[in-house]
Amino acid sequence: GQQVMQIPQYQHVQEGEDFTTYCNSSTTLSNIQWYKQRPGGHPVFLIQLVKSGEVKKQKRLTFQFGEAKKNSSLHITATQTTDVGTYFCAGRTSFQKLVFGTGTRLLVSP
Amino acid sequence: GAVVSQHPSWVICKSGTSVKIECRSLDFQATTMFWYRQFPKQSLMLMATSNEGSKATYEQGVEKDKFLINHASLTLSTLTVTSAHPEDSSFYICSARKSESGDYFGPGTRLTVT
């Protein structure tokens, strides 16, 4: 079945450092979404990318969708302690469902 | 806004009993809702797709007779875990699809089966 892998699995950074998580799908996606889940919380929708090669920014967060629509990345510039959590990508296939990536857990030390 | 609620937020039940979890979209209508299961420090695994007015579509390996899903209205889907066992203990999360703006997740229900 379809798989969506994320790397790294875990990253610990100092506040102010940059952070990037990469998402790779085994199949072509119709779109990709990114979610953030705080410890003990539920996933919160961040953004959706639809077009091949699309780049979107939300303040310090930059999201990219690959040309082949099989990979994506999330880059955080100058991390803050409030960025702590697990970041999931989720790819939507030609069917209705979302397939979640394995997630990247981010820890930010002050 | 796009608010999704779940009830209960946590539940403890005895082995062999059934538990019903409700998922409601509070400020929008959702023809499609989804049920996920999440084990500690793991990703969300889709269990089933719930479509209003029709039967749910279950993912491979999910027992439809054990996890009963009913989507009776455009704002409510329910998941009933029947004859629960300790291995069913998990975090169950629903989401509701709001057209093309994304899927909005409920706060989750933590089920503990003793």
Q: How far is CA A94 from CA A27, A97, B38, in A?
A: 10, 8, 24
CB proximity A56 to B under 8 Å = no
Calculate how close chain A gets to B102, using CA atoms only, in Å: 7
β pairing state of A71-76 and B103-105:
unpaired
Higher pLDDT, A79 or B52: A79
Per residue in A25-54, pLDDT (tens digit) is 999 999 999 999 998 888 888 999 999 999
Closest residue in B to A34 (Cα) is B102
| Section B2-11 average pLDDT | 94
Mutate to test the interface with B, among A98, A104, A107 (most CBs of B within 10 A): A98
Indicate yes or no: CB of B43 within 8 angstroms of CB of A45.
no
Query: Residue A45: its chain B contacts at CB < 8 A?
Result: 102-105
Quick one: three-class SS letters along chain A?
CCCEEEECCEEEEECCCCEEEEEEECCCCCEEEEEEECCCCCCEEEEEECCCCCEEEECCEEEEECCCCCEEEEEECCCCHHHCEEEEEEEECCCCCEEECCCEEEEEEC
Indicate yes or no: CB of B49 within 8 angstroms of CB of A45.
no
Indicate yes or no: CB of B32 within 8 angstroms of CB of A98.
no
Indicate yes or no: CB of A45 within 8 angstroms of CB of B32.
no
Give pLDDT, residue A95: 66
Indicate yes or no: CB of A42 within 8 angstroms of CB of B104.
no
Mutate to test the interface with B, among A7, A21, A38, A42 (most CBs of B within 10 A): A42
Closest residue in A to B57 (Cα) is A97
Per residue in B29-56, pLDDT (tens digit) is 988 999 999 988 889 999 999 888 888 9
pLDDT band at B78 (very low <50, low <70, confident <90, very high): very high
pLDDT band at A6 (very low <50, low <70, confident <90, very high): very high
Give pLDDT, residue A97: 79
Name which of A16-20, A56-60, B57-61 the model is least confident about.
B57-61
CA distance B108 to B37: 9
| Section A55-67 average pLDDT | 97
Give pLDDT, residue B108: 94
Mutate to test the interface with A, among B9, B37, B103 (most CBs of A within 10 A): B103
